[in-house]
Every structure is written in C-alpha cells, then in structure tokens.
Structure 1
Amino acid sequence: MSEEDTIRSSCERRDSKRESVLYKVVLTGGPCAGKTTTVARLRTFFENLGWKVYTVPEAATILLGGGVKYSEVSPIQAQEFNRNILKTILQLETTFFEMAAEDKRNVIVVCDRGTYDPSAFSTVLIRLQAWVGHPYYDVIDNSTDFESKIRRVIEVVCKRIGKQLGADIDDRLKAQSKKRKFLVKSLPDSSLFSKVEDFDVTHDYLLTSNPQLQARVRKRGQNGYFTFTHTERRTMDGKRVEQIMQLSDREYRALLNQRDPTHHPIHKKRKCFLWKGHYFQLDVFLEPCSQRCQDMLMLETYTTKQGDELELPDFLEIVKEVTSDPHYSMYYLSAQD
C-alpha cells in the first residue's frame, strides 16, 4: 500500500438554517487513487436517491491541461502557479456553493481535491497530511480491492449524513453485497411508488482491440440535463474489474464515433425508488432497441440477502430472477440478432 493510492475524504454539513441539507465532500489523494471514478459513483448514488449533486472539478488538472509543466518552470513561477491554483479552487467552490445554497432540495457538493491541497501540490505525502486535524476526516486505504474501496467511500459519506439520507444503505454497501436482477411483468401505476426519480439512460458499446475488454459510454440524466461516463470492464486474476471515468459532453460525442456496429444502443427509462428503506431501480427498455429487450422491464438492487430473504416491492409482479443468466446482461441484450 502506498500513500499515493490512498483516498482521504472530508465531509461536512453547511448552512444549518436550511430545511433541506447541504453537504460538502472533498476527495484528496495521489494519482490513480480512484478519485475521478469515486466522484462519478457518488454522483450516481445520490442522484438516484433524489439529491441534487454538484461536482467541482480539480483545478490543477484544468490548468495543467493548458501545457504547464513543473519541470520547465522556476521555483518562483511554480510558487505563483500554486497560488493561482488556490485562487481558481476558491472561485470554483464559491460558484458551486452559491448555486447549492439556492437549491431547495437536499444537496451534496463533491470536490475533486480542495483548498488544502495546493499548498503542497508537488509533494503527495505532505498534501495528504494537510488534511489531518479536520473534524470530519476519513482515510480510505488499499486494504480491499478497488470496487470495495469505492463502496467504502460511499459508506463513509452516508454515515456522516446519517438519518438525513432517508435510506438504509448498510446492506447495499457491504463487501458481500451483489447485484440481483428480476424480470417484471408490467409497469405499475405511478401512484404506487411512494417517491421515485426518473432518469433517461442510454448505453453505447464501443469497439475494442482486446476481446476480453468491454467498453461503453453512458448518457444519464433528467429534465434535459445529462452526465456522461466511460466504463471499461475486464477480467483480471479471475475477477471482473470495472473502471469508470466521467466525460464531458464533447468527449462523449467523440467516443460515439467508436460505436461497435455489432451492438445496438440501449435506451432505458430508469425509475429509482425506496421501498421499506431499501433502494431499487426499475429499468423500462425503450425502442429503438434489439429484439432481445423489447418490452422488457428489469428490477435491480444490491444486497447480501439470498433467495427469499430479500423482500421485493409488493406492487410489482415479478416474473423470475435472472441474476445469474448471461442472456440478461446489457452486453448480450444489446448484441445484434
């Protein structure tokens, strides 16, 4: 385990006068620690629960992307550059917090690094130690695999928020938790959902040079606002490894040029809801689509419960469980007949 691969998070509530809640989460850590993937997963998790999520990009990445290299600048220039990174972070955070403060929903603002980082930007260990002493501070080390590491981050944030989260997430985020999938006969009346968040989701599979690698892009959003992610799945040492990265609209559209012509896009209306404190999502597959998924409705959840231990929503007519059936994977369902 190296310090460079450790994620450290800070979570605090702001504006106690709000009826709804506003939280700030800051992720810090070295390169390849998984911060960007974690930001994407946090966003999806909380949006599914009906929260508004703002994500503050890493200021250093924005500025370094313009061509600045520390190896080419003098110590004085580097010092001035760090000072400007701090100014950029402060302005970005101010902008997002002003927007969040005006929102009437529960809001979480996720920062990819924060104002403590630039003071020691060139020294990873010192940069991580800069957060020591913060009252809401957690260390997520590399004692587990990458997927479990991300779950631990989400679990830490959820525990900080506590009852205000409005859901029981202990079972869903346990290391032994697995995705279970069920076919549903028909779409129930909307009044039967106590509270539901609807999202438009589109998956497109991409061409890859490695037959053991699956790559896809996803467009997900509601009310005309979308976020974009790129996902790669591969098998390593007998385990499936998944890497997710957030994309800009421009990056997403560029990757669409690499669509795999042997796979149809998958369009879904995703209904995310809580039932008896447990989180579910119901995917309604939409046309145009492969014949394999026409008129299909699929219920999904993550849980440690086996068989009938898992209590399913009683207003849904379950046809059968398809968790272990490869014919109901998104990759198979999107394949041309």
Structure 2
Amino acid sequence: MVQIENTYFELGNSSTRNCLIICDRGVMDASAYISKDKWEKMMAGNKWNPVEMRDNRYNQILHLVSAANGAEDFYSTENRKRHYQDHACRSEGVDLARELDYKSAAAWVGHPYFDVIDNSTNFEAKMNRMIESVCQKVGIDIGDRLQATSRKLKYLVALLPPDSEFPPFQDFDVVHHYLQSAGPKVQARLRKRGQKSHWSYIHTQRRPNVHGQARIEVKTQLTHRDYMNLLAQRDDAHFTIYKKRRCFLINNQYFQLDIYKEPGHPRCKGLVLLETYSSLTGEALKNCMPKFLNIVKEVTGDPDYSMFNLSLKEDWSTTKKFCRSATHGKQDQQLPEPPKQYHPYDENSD
C-alpha cells in the first residue's frame, strides 16, 4: 500500500496542474487490525515513526464513522442487494464493526487536521459534510451550497485531571511564531509540531474576505529548511507561543486540548483551552463534551482567548494591534478601542 501511495504522490508532484490525491485507506489504518506489538515491530523494521507516517504523509484525515455506529438500520453483511444498498465485501457483525471503526479512528488521533464525519445526519448530508471539510482545507469557496453547519468551538478549562482519566490520547509539543505580513489585513504564522524529536512544519496565511467568504486560510506544509528560512521573518511584536497539545477522541468527537507553557506573556500562565468542531447544539452538544474536564465557560470568538492577542508583547490597553472579534460581544467587560491596524482573522485553528 505504501508503494502504491508513493507512486501516486510522485505523479501528483510531477503534475503541472493542481492535484488532489484521495486515499481510501492510510498507513495508520493497518494498526487497527493487528496487535500493538506487531505494529510496533513493523514500524521499527521499516524505520517509520508516527509523525512521518501519520502527520506529514497526509494533509488531512477524514474518518467516516461506520453505519454500525449510529446508523445500524443501514448496516448489512448480506451478499445480496437490499432496497437500500449492497455490501458484498462486508463481513463483520455490528459489534465487531463498531469496535474496528473506533480503533481505525483512534489510529489517527494526533493528526493536526483530523475530521470525524458521524451519522448524525442522513447519508446525503453526511457526504456534503465530508466534501465541505475537504473544500475548506484546500481553500475552495463553496458558498452556502452544502449548507455546512459545523463550527469551531473553544472552551476555557481549569484544574486538569490526572492522565489516567483521559481516553487514549496523543501529546505533542507545539511552537507558534507570528510572521511579518504583507499588509494589516493579512496574518501569517509558522507552526512546529512534534513528538519525540520528530517534527512537522506548517505555514498558515489568512487573507481578507473574498466573494463574501468569511475567511480564506491557506496552509502549506514545509520542509525543515523552509521553516528555518521563514523564521527570519518573525514579528517582534509577538511572543513565541509554546504549548503542549493533547488530542483525543470521545463520543465520536475529536478534541484538542492546548496547555500553554512558559516562556510567554504572564497572561498565558496556566491557560488551558479545549477546541473541537461540531454542528451540535444545546443538550446534544453538552452530552458529547468530556465529562472528566472542568470546563469553565465557552470562549468561542472571545478576543481575550485569541492566540494572536495572547502572543502580543504590548499591553492590551495600549496596543493598536489588539484584534477584536466580530463574532463575540462582551456586555459586562470593557474592551479596548478598535485598533487602527485591523487583523480580521483572530481565531487559532492550528
């Protein structure tokens, strides 16, 4: 499978046109079907490591939750055509399929762009959510054609529990550098993310609104050499941001827990933020949240918890670079006056 993928990757790299390569399965999926010892032996024998084979090899992971988990009425193992589908290649019963589905999803926990497409909608809407997710990552403006309702959510967390209370997780060291930008409406940053001295590097640029789209965000995977060269463009108005990022999956929902580390501005000391994407609301959303975490409040769109603002060296009350969010209004707290230098995209999605 690796060699087949490599062949297609090489063809894509040699193409003079934009090319999107979709893999039905990825390398890490194999770990769901063999023992941990065998998988680790295979990794060691091929000199693989998770950062290279999971994070750097694929730009995005989409896990389409099996019908065995949430749409059982549409799960069939019979080798004949029913009124809704034909699955001649499916052999697992519902319970085993559900278990393997969870293991397959867990194999990708830790990838920086991992989206779980669950069965909370009908199949057509499920496919639209998948397409919308891909379009968003590659920067294609789809307008409202797919009626996507998934949104990014951010929560303030206090008093972290011991590691034993978490489901299986992956921890990463993350370093962010803001870069000097071409104009006041463009924001650029670098991200270094890794485990056990294996790193991936991403350059993110956010651009002004185009054709009414709320945000244009272009992410480019970098080599170590490119990353080091771009560091020369660091913006001295910002601190470097250091985090420990913990990724885990629970209730078919993918979460990232950012634990801010020193050195940094005193405003970041002890700060812990939980992030996820969801189309759920109300009780449905509340029920899927991690019960073992002490969630203080939702801070989605709150400029006080924007990484751009958190990294500013100047005091918020005097700086002209403070970025106010258009999606969050505080009625009980006085915010600084709107800055003359306007940065429209203050949410942190890296």
TM tier, smaller? 0.5 to 0.7
- The aligned counterpart of 1:258 is 233
- The aligned counterpart of 1:18 is none
**Structure with the largest fraction of strand:** 1
- The aligned counterpart of 1:331 is 308
Counterpart secondary structure, 2:164: helix
Q: 2:181 aligns with which of 205, 208, 215?
A: 208
Amino acid at match of 1:299: L
**Residue 240 of structure 1: how far off its partner (Å):** 0.7
Separation of aligned partners in 2, 1:272 and 1:254? 29
- The aligned counterpart of 1:312 is 289
Query: Are 1:155 and 2:62 counterparts?
Result: yes
Structure 2 matches for 1:21-32, cutoff 5 A? 26=8, 28=12, 31=16
CA RMSD of aligned residues (A): 4.3
Query: Are 1:279 and 2:250 counterparts?
Result: no
**Structure 1's 316 and 33: CA in aligned 2 closer, same or farther, altered over 3 A?**
same
1:24/1:109 contact within 8 Å kept: no
**Residue 26 of structure 1: how far off its partner (Å):** 4.2
**Residue 282 of structure 1: how far off its partner (Å):** 0.7
- The aligned counterpart of 2:105 is 166
Counterpart secondary structure, 2:204: strand
- The aligned counterpart of 1:247 is 222
Counterpart secondary structure, 1:335: coil
Separation of aligned partners in 2, 1:330 and 1:301? 16
1:229/1:244 contact within 8 Å kept: yes
Separation of aligned partners in 2, 1:111 and 1:105? 10
Amino acid at match of 2:18: A
Q: 1:230 aligns with which of 193, 203, 215?
A: 203
- The aligned counterpart of 1:294 is 269
TM-score, normalised by the number of residues in structure 1: 0.57
Counterpart secondary structure, 1:331: helix
Amino acid at match of 1:312: M
- The aligned counterpart of 1:70 is none
Identity of aligned residues (%): 38
**Structure 1's 257 and 272: CA in aligned 2 closer, same or farther, altered over 3 A?**
same
Separation of aligned partners in 2, 1:157 and 1:31? 31
Separation of aligned partners in 1, 2:303 and 2:185? 16
1:158/1:165 contact within 8 Å kept: no
**Residue 293 of structure 1: how far off its partner (Å):** 1.8
| Greater CA drift, 261-270 or 100-109 | 100-109
Amino acid at match of 2:116: I
**Residue 110 of structure 1: how far off its partner (Å):** 7.8
**Residue 105 of structure 1: how far off its partner (Å):** 7.7
1:24/1:111 contact within 8 Å kept: no
**Residue 326 of structure 1: how far off its partner (Å):** 2.3
**Structure with the largest fraction of helix:** 1
**Residue ranges of structure 2 left out of the alignment (5+ in a row):** 32-41, 67-96, 107-114, 119-128, 134-147, 316-350
**Structure 1's 183 and 154: CA in aligned 2 closer, same or farther, altered over 3 A?**
same
**Residue 32 of structure 1: how far off its partner (Å):** 6.2
**Structure 1's 157 and 252: CA in aligned 2 closer, same or farther, altered over 3 A?**
farther
Separation of aligned partners in 2, 1:249 and 1:273? 27
Query: Are 1:321 and 2:303 counterparts?
Result: no
**Structure 1's 154 and 274: CA in aligned 2 closer, same or farther, altered over 3 A?**
closer
Structure 2 matches for 1:64-103, cutoff 5 A? none
- The aligned counterpart of 2:18 is 33
Counterpart secondary structure, 2:215: strand
1:25/1:110 contact within 8 Å kept: no
TM-score, normalised by the number of residues in structure 2: 0.55
Separation of aligned partners in 2, 1:25 and 1:193? 39
2:55/2:200 contact within 8 Å kept: no
**Residue ranges of structure 1 left out of the alignment (5+ in a row):** 1-12, 16-21, 52-96, 113-149
Separation of aligned partners in 2, 1:287 and 1:98? 33
- CA deviation map 1:27-82 (0-9, x unaligned): 5485563659x99xx99xx99x9x8xxxxxxxxxxxxxxxxxxxxxxxxxxxxxxx
| Greater CA drift, 279-288 or 162-171 | 162-171
**Residue 99 of structure 1: how far off its partner (Å):** 6.9
**Structure 1's 309 and 31: CA in aligned 2 closer, same or farther, altered over 3 A?**
farther
1:182/1:320 contact within 8 Å kept: yes
**Residue 232 of structure 1: how far off its partner (Å):** 0.4
Separation of aligned partners in 1, 2:218 and 2:6? 24
2:64/2:116 contact within 8 Å kept: no
Separation of aligned partners in 2, 1:301 and 1:100? 35
